[in-house]
């Protein structure tokens, strides 16, 4: 089959790889000059099944209200006149019930565990090197109440096969000695030894090179403008070429993996995806004292940020702003990241030379991604992986290849409406 994959982030690239492995004639269309230059560029680097709790949970509404208007709040809803933002917000509230949170946690965790396993298999098979560290993820709490509440989540995760365990502050320091300066502030932590970390950009670009070597046609600097249908099936994709011409790509199947931009492309076809961009930030620093920089990837629950070592760099990332598609830097958020990483790991890096970045997580209100066939039978979506796109990415590629081939995917999926 001729399969056109739209979008060259981690999701589109992994989809193209697995589709090609099934023997399809695959074309990947990406508006940037290479893969992974948008949301899959400088994220927190955590391959973290243990962080599968959805943002929509019973505690979220009150916290979001308290954070309203605070420029450096971990999660900031910036109300606008955009109807889609309000609809998304209402659906998010609907998912904050205990029952919905439990069900969404289960769905996300299954996909995350499958993603982590598939990523490890790909790494072994292709010999990928991306500053990966297999040292686990340590999630620490400064609030004893949050630490207690997290124990219940950890128990559910263990039931579902994710070995996330509560550890004392002392044990946390033994797992990651670079956290010693924070000893007095840590109430407790969760540790998942099987989670890992690594650079999504390096991984995705290497995977793309392997995909190209195996015959995937990469169309970079090509903007997708439309998917056309005939007789109820998607049969052509309209693109604008680097020199400005409109061209059509013939297709037997189309996979839409445009991250936050997937919704807009599909609206004319009557496919309404509950998707909104969740803007996040990162700051990356050169390490000057390796002994003071962590090797275990660390999540700081109080500030909702993660710190990951990527070779000789240290990156802090996190926060979310629901404020549309702007990727402008907010100085208050940048300053918060630099201040916090300096507090956590003093003198580990040259903190005077930050490299800032923002990216738009493709967020669904439930946190559960949108993967599967749409009302147009040969048009598939693979998006909405939100906070866990790096963790789920490789597995998401494999799942979409299964669906296109008509095979039962390795993970049970919710219906995509």
What's the rounded Cα separation, in Å, for the pair 241 and 219?
9
Nearer Cβ to ligand FAD, position 36 or 96?
Answer: 36
Q: Give buried/exposed letters for 353-364 (b at 16+ CB in 10 A, else e).
A: ebebbbbbbbbb
Using CB atoms, what's the residue nearest to ligand FAD?
389
Residue position matching structure tokens 């209402």: 90
Q: How far is the CB of 94 from ligand FAD (least distance, A)?
A: 22
Q: Which is nearer to ligand FAD, 288 or 414 (CB)?
A: 414
- Closer residue to ligand FAD (CB): 106 or 181: 106
Taking a C-beta distance cutoff of 8 angstroms, is the pair 297, 195 a contact? Answer: yes
> Does residue 140 contact residue 189 with C-beta atoms inside 8 Å?
yes
Please state the length of the chain.
417
Kindly state the smallest distance separating residue 392's Cβ from ligand FAD, in Å: 7
Report how far apart, in Å, the C-alpha atoms of 286 and of each of 1, 25, 124, 181, 297 are: 46, 42, 28, 20, 16
Which of 411, 416, 405, 417 minimizes the C-alpha distance to 108? 411
**Tokens standing for 93?**
């509230």
**CB of 99: closest distance to ligand FAD in angstroms?**
25
> Whose Cβ is closer to ligand FAD: residue 169's or residue 249's?
249
Residues at the interface with ligand FAD (CB under 6 A): 7-12, 29-32, 37-40, 43-46, 48, 223-224, 257-259, 261, 280-282, 306, 317-318, 359, 361-362, 383, 385-391
For ligand FAD, the closer CB: 249 or 257: 257
Say if residues 13 and 216 touch (Cβ distance below 8 Å).
Answer: no
Q: 397, 292, 412, 377: which is closest to 5 by C-alpha?
A: 397
**Residue 396 CB, nearest distance to ligand FAD (Å)?**
8
Residue closer to ligand FAD by CB (options 10, 416) is: 10
| Residue 18: CB minimum distance to ligand FAD, A | 14
Query: Could you tell me the smallest distance in angstroms from the CB atom of residue 170 to ligand FAD?
Result: 26
CA 23 to chain centroid = 28
């Amino acid at each position: 089959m001729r399969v056109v994959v739209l979008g060259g982030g981690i999701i589109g690239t992994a989809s193209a790889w697995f589709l090609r492995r099934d023997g399809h004639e695959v074309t990947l269309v990406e508006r940037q000059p290479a893969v992974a230059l948008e949301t899959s560029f400088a994220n927190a680097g955590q391959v973290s099944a243990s962080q599968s709790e959805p943002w929509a949970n019973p505690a979220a509404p009150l916290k979001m209200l308290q954070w309203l208007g605070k420029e450096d709040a971990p999660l900031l809803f910036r109300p606008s006149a955009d109807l889609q933002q309000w609809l998304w917000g209402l659906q998010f509230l609907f998912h904050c019930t205990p029952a919905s949170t439990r069900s969404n946690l289960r769905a996300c965790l299954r996909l995350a565990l499958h993603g982590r396993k598939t990523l490890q298999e790909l790494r072994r098979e292709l010999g990928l090197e991306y500053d990966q560290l297999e040292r686990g993820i340590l999630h620490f709490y400064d609030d004893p109440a949050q630490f207690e509440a997290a124990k219940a989540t950890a128990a559910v995760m263990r039931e579902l096969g994710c070995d996330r365990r509560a550890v004392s502050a002392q044990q946390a320091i033994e797992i990651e000695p670079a956290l010693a300066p924070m000893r007095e502030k840590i109430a407790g932590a969760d540790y998942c030894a099987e989670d890992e970390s690594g650079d999504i950009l390096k991984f995705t670009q290497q995977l793309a090179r392997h995909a190209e070597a195996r015959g995937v046609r990469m169309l970079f600097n090509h903007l997708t403008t439309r998917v056309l249908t005939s007789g109820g099936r998607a049969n052509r994709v309209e693109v604008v070429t680097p020199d400005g011409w409109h061209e059509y790509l013939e297709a037997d199947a189309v996979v839409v993996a445009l991250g936050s931009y997937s919704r807009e492309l599909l609206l004319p076809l009557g496919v309404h995806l509950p998707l909104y961009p969740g803007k996040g930030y990162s700051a990356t620093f050169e390490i000057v004292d390796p002994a003071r920089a962590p090797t275990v990837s660390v999540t700081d629950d109080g500030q909702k940020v993660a710190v990951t070592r990527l070779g000789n760099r240290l990156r802090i990332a996190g926060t979310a702003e629901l404020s549309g598609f702007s990727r402008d830097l907010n100085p208050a958020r940048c300053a918060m990241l630099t201040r916090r990483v300096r507090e956590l790991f003093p003198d580990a890096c040259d903190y005077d030379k930050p490299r800032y970045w923002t990216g738009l997580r493709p967020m669904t209100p439930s946190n559960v991604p949108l993967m599967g066939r749409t009302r147009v039978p040969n048009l598939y979506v693979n998006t909405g992986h939100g906070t866990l796109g790096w963790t789920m990415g490789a597995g998401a590629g494999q799942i979409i290849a299964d669906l296109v081939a008509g095979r039962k995917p390795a993970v049970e999926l919710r219906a995509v409406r």
